[in-house]
Copies of this chain bind each other. A is one copy, B any other.
Amino acid sequence: MIIVMSPRATAAQLQHVIERIEALGYHAHVIHGSERNVVGAVGDERGKFQLQSLESLPGVDSVVPILKPYKLASKEVKAEKSIITVGHVKIGGPRLVVMAGPCSVESREQVMETAEVVKRAGAQILRGGAYKPRTSPYSFQGMEEEGLKLLAEAREATGLPIITEVMNPREIEIIERYTDIIQIGARNVQNFSLLKEVGQCRKPIFLKRGMSTTISEFLLSAEYILSQGNRDVILCERGIRTFETATRNTLDLSAIPVLQGETHLPVVVDPSHATGHWRLVPPMAKAAVAAGADGLMIEVHPHPEEALSDGPQALKPERFIHLMEELRRFAEVAGRTL
């Protein structure tokens, strides 16, 4: 932590800052500058809230953190990439993993039909929402346990592991009973109570970046899960909120190499929620593979114009099959398989 003093700070103010730093168990190291002094607080700054409060002291201009605030998520603690195993599927290894399926589970026909298509196209995991976070209370809220049963039935029929979202700590138990991967949605990325509770689950956690979550905050949310003992965390970039309205969100693909420089956890991209328009999904899926993503989450619906949620962003079966063929070629050039 670097404490930047004001140009008008007195010697007594500087001395007081030094004393507070040392009282908090850090070593203070002053650099006398041409216009102002700065003080380095040497020590592990991760329990840093108290150092930050030094900003309130007279003569202090600002407090600048130097160390990364996350530990278990960082490559400094674990240099080799994490590979997360779900049945026969390995996420984070050389083979790219595609998770596909409908936004919401709506009926047995819809789930079974989509699961068959998804499997035939070469996707390895089936996605589908049973408990749905909807902006409006008047929108379809999901089939709940009935939906979980349909997903399990589709797994039975196709052999594909399933992923579904949890929103409420009270529902973790029932969801964990059915699903293979537990998804935390973008709106819950800083629902710290939920993060702590899924950190105690034995199933892998798929954590979506929030609409206004910085990469550093995103890794701290992963750290919440990891610090509870669950080491199987998959990160998902799904678009951030910006001023641009031509797309539902702005897909931040540079998050892939930035994350890969910081963490050992696998990084998956969801081009469906990021763009909100099915026409934009194929180019963004290919771009994600080229940028080094470990996998993709893609929405597929047999009849998008009748979907109960997010119809405009779902691919029809034949388009998804075609996309998978294209992706295979991009994966190869990127040094991966699919």
A residues near B (Cβ < 8 Å) are 2, 4, 7, 20, 29, 31-36, 38, 40, 42-44, 46-50, 52-57, 63-64, 66-67, 69-71, 76, 133-140, 167-171, 187-188, 190-194, 196, 210-212, 214-217, 220, 223-224, 227, 240-247, 250-258, 261, 274-275, 277-280, 283-284, 286-292, 304-309, 311-312, 314, 329-330, 332-334
Contact = CB atoms under 8 A, between A and B. Distances in A.
B279 A261 contact: yes
Contact of A214 (B47, B55, B243, B252): B243
A176 to B, nearest CB: 16
Nearest to A49: B139
A175 to B, nearest CB: 12
Nearest to A261: B279
A306 to B, nearest CB: 7
B240 A247 contact: no
A237 to B, nearest CB: 11
A64 B134 CA distance: 18
Consensus secondary structure, chain A interface: mixed
9 contacts: A2-B38, A53-B306, A70-B136, A170-B170, A243-B243, A254-B274, A286-B334, A287-B287, A287-B288
A333 B332 CA distance: 10
A49 B309 contact: yes
A214 B309 CA distance: 20
Given A49-B134, A169-B169, A290-B330, 9 more contacts: A53-B307, A138-B227, A168-B169, A168-B194, A169-B170, A170-B170, A251-B253, A254-B284, A286-B291
Nearest to A216: B246
Q: Report, nearest first, the 8 A-B pairs whose CB atoms are least far apart.
A: A53-B311, A212-B212, A168-B193, A290-B290, A187-B190, A287-B287, A55-B312, A287-B291
Contacts of A49: 134, 139-140, 307-309, 311
